[in-house]
Amino acid sequence: MISKKLNERCTEDIVREHFKKDGLFSNLIFEEQTSNIPKIDKLLKNASKKGTGRGMPEFIISVKDESDLIIVVECKADILKHESKNRDQYADYAVDGALLYSSYLSKECNVLSLAVSGIEKKNIKVSYFLQKCGETKSDRIFGNRLISIDDILSGLRQDTAKKNEKYENLLDYSKELNQQLHKLKIKEDKRSLLVSGVLIALDNTDFYRSYIALANNKMIAETLVNTIRQQLENEDLQGKKIDKLMQNYSFINTHPSLVECKKNINLKDLKELIDDIDENINGYVRTYKYYDVLGQFYIEFLRYSNADKGLGIVLTPPHITEFFCDIVDIKSDDVVLDNCTGTGGFLVSAMKKMIQKCAGDNKQEKHIKQHQLYGIEYQPEMYPLAVSNMFLHGDGKSNIISGSCFDESIIELVKNKKPTIGFLNPPYKSESDDIEEFEFILNSLDCLQKHGKCVAIVPMSCALAQSGERLRLKEQLLTKHTLKAVFSMPNELFHNSKVSPPTCIMVFEAHIPHPERNKVFFGYFKNDGFDKRKTKGRFDYNNKWGDIKDNWLNLYANNEAKTGLSITQKVSANDEWCAEAYMETDYSTLNQDDFKNELKKYIAFDVLNYD
């Protein structure tokens, strides 16, 4: 018994030392076995692991700035006593005991349970669980190592359910802001520029502190535009590039609705707009890093405008930009190119994933931002959004090139950067003389290193082509490169952009001619778990996407055929590149309700299209 206690003290010492060395230790209330905080003391009163009496965890940690969070720690010397099968042996197992305490504390707090087993620092076993206030279940979170308080707090803020909740709030605000800017008679294509300009200026400490005190809208607008220029000049952008960007932002200090001081009970002045943007958008960006928030606002601002459709612009939903990174299993040393950058969503997602794999290496993180992310954007109104988006995420803005991806000088410049991954959502062809989507894919592949991976989302009509120019381009693709996979995507993937082209994701390997004997993976990925709501659009309201994505990726990684979801097939340029052409229907999943729903859809379509 004495030996066991001594060994357990070794485990406790490891945990104690870890937190006492933490940079945020001064911001913690670190207690052992009992708590002087009345609420915690009350909740542990009947939480004994033996069924009667007070519960006494090894450590109870409170964060001074996070009043609704408690971290409870349970230690065991023996790694074999880490977690029981049913988690009901509270006195003998670390996880079981930690979760018992959590069940009591979670009645009034969010609880992070930490179970640690082992007496050697390099061989300890660690498990974290999160149990939210008022809930009965706890979810495993983080990995199998002790992490810093800062990492804990950052990770909790990235909690999927909470992030989705905050994102819904952001969508609500985007509609509210759109209505305000409409009333101010600011054109749709200027609204995202205004938002991006405000966010850039708010990143300047002097502006952040002083704009509230400025006397009127005109002074605020002038200071705002001057601050944008100052911020861009501080970031090593060349003079011509800054001048081009500032031409887009110049409307801010000339637009009558922004600079004149006409108070209207239904309209917000410039200071109030900046306040709201800081609270609603900047607050989200600070908490959930590396997210294409400007792209989402651009989508909302152009929902009822034809400007984006006329240009063939269909911005990629953020869960798909992240999915691209998972498809190629992106590494921290990859160099990423998006030759149709748009607002920069693919580059932002790539930055996020690559930095996550840096394991805290600040030097490598800086290198990623400065030398491993490249974008090309032709549309002049999109270019400043891409630059500002990268600016807001820490760096990379100087690697956004304004011009055509087919320009020989730009191609040469990009090739010299030796990109290993190409992501793109090319402009969708709407007129007969528009550039074919496959041309953009070939352009991306041409810029990549040998064996590089290119992932593109294009209209399904490209995959189905069996004649004409598209067939010629399919032949060219297979002559030079390998088609690895095609995923048929949900029919309403772009519902939030008010367009609905059926699309597919194509995956290629660069500069390796397609082997005739190789089978291509085809995924029938039509259900991503997203639902539509009339006022909020299409979104993962029920948090289904994570599990669905994992299933898709497992099927692709293992080249696995699964009834109703995937199949592998040898194909040539003359064939249809989609799962629907080859897979068998899983009739076992059909029921009477499916039949009724399809009939209702047909009747509705017939009524709406009756001539």
* C-beta of residue 55 within 8 angstroms of C-beta of residue 91: no
Which residues, including other chains, have CB under 8 Å from residue 223's CB and lie 6 or more apart?
207, 210, 211, 214
pLDDT band at 312 (very low <50, low <70, confident <90, very high): very low
Of 187-196, 200-209, 237-246, 398-407, which gets the smallest average pLDDT? 237-246
Identify whether residues 382 and 520 lie together within a single domain: yes
Q: Answer whether residue 321 shows pLDDT above 70.
A: yes
pLDDT mean over 376-383: 87
Which token pair is 457? 């989302």
The per-residue pLDDT for 476 is 97
Identify whether residues 109 and 19 lie together within a single domain: yes
Please tell me the pTM assigned to this model. Answer: 0.69
Instruction: Give residue for tokens 């497992």.
Output: 554
Identify whether residues 440 and 484 lie together within a single domain: yes
pLDDT mean over 582-592: 72
* C-beta of residue 267 within 8 angstroms of C-beta of residue 254: no
Q: Kindly write down the DSSP assignment for every residue of 502-536, as one continuous string.
A: -EEEEEEETTSPPPTTPPEEEEE----S-EEETTT
Q: Answer whether residue 309 shows pLDDT above 70.
A: no
Q: In 3D, which of 428, 438, 585 has the Cα closest to residue 493?
A: 428
Task: Tell me the pLDDT tens digit for each residue of 322-338.
Answer: 999 999 999 999 999 99
Q: Kindly write down the DSSP assignment for every residue of 60-91, as one continuous string.
A: EEEETTEEEEEEEEEEES-GGGS--SSS--TT
Residue 10 sits in which domain range? 2-157
Indicate the Cα dihedral angle 491, 495, 501, 503, nearest 10°. Answer: -50
Q: Answer whether residue 425 shows pLDDT above 50.
A: yes
Task: Tell me the pLDDT tens digit for each residue of 464-520.
Answer: 999 999 999 999 999 999 999 999 999 988 876 656 689 999 999 999 999 999 999
* In-domain check, residue 270: yes
Q: Which amino acid is at 381?
A: E
Identify whether residues 185 and 114 lie together within a single domain: no
The per-residue pLDDT for 358 is 81
Which token pair is 41? 């003391």
pLDDT mean over 582-591: 71
Q: Kindly write down the DSSP assignment for every residue of 446-481, as one continuous string.
A: HHSPTT-EEEEEEEHHHHH--SHHHHHHHHHHHHHS
Identify whether residues 395 and 415 lie together within a single domain: yes
**How many domains does the chain contain in total?**
3
* In-domain check, residue 350: yes
Q: Answer whether residue 41 shows pLDDT above 50.
A: yes
Instruction: Give residue for tokens 């894919």.
Output: 441
* C-beta of residue 63 within 8 angstroms of C-beta of residue 19: no
The per-residue pLDDT for 558 is 96
- Strands 66-76 and 59-63 turn out to be antiparallel
Identify whether residues 233 and 267 lie together within a single domain: yes
pLDDT band at 72 (very low <50, low <70, confident <90, very high): very high
The per-residue pLDDT for 4 is 53
Identify whether residues 208 and 273 lie together within a single domain: yes
Which token pair is 225? 């535009």
Measured CA to CA, the distance from residue 451 to residue 168 in angstroms comes to 39
Identify whether residues 153 and 185 lie together within a single domain: no
Identify whether residues 27 and 101 lie together within a single domain: yes
* In-domain check, residue 78: yes
* In-domain check, residue 458: yes
Identify whether residues 166 and 312 lie together within a single domain: no
Identify whether residues 245 and 386 lie together within a single domain: no
Which token pair is 294? 């400007």
Residue finishing a domain among 97, 127, 157: 157
Q: What percent of the chain has pLDDT over 90?
A: 46
CA atoms within 13 A on the CB side of 419: 28
Identify whether residues 239 and 384 lie together within a single domain: no
**What 3-state class would DSSP assign to 116?**
strand
Q: Answer whether residue 609 shows pLDDT above 70.
A: no
- Residue with the bigger pLDDT between 372 and 166: it is 372
Instruction: Please give the angle made by the CA atoms of 553, 558 and 563, to the nearest 5 degrees.
Output: 80
- Residue with the bigger pLDDT between 594 and 140: it is 140
Measured CA to CA, the distance from residue 105 to residue 39 in angstroms comes to 9
Q: Answer whether residue 294 shows pLDDT above 90.
A: no
For the domain that residue 573 is a member of, what is the CATH number?
3.40.50.150
Q: Mean pLDDT score of the chain, rounded to an integer?
A: 86
Highest mean predicted confidence (pLDDT) among 316-320, 393-397, 446-450, 601-605: 446-450
* In-domain check, residue 246: yes
The per-residue pLDDT for 547 is 92
- Residue with the bigger pLDDT between 173 and 416: it is 416
pLDDT mean over 198-226: 86
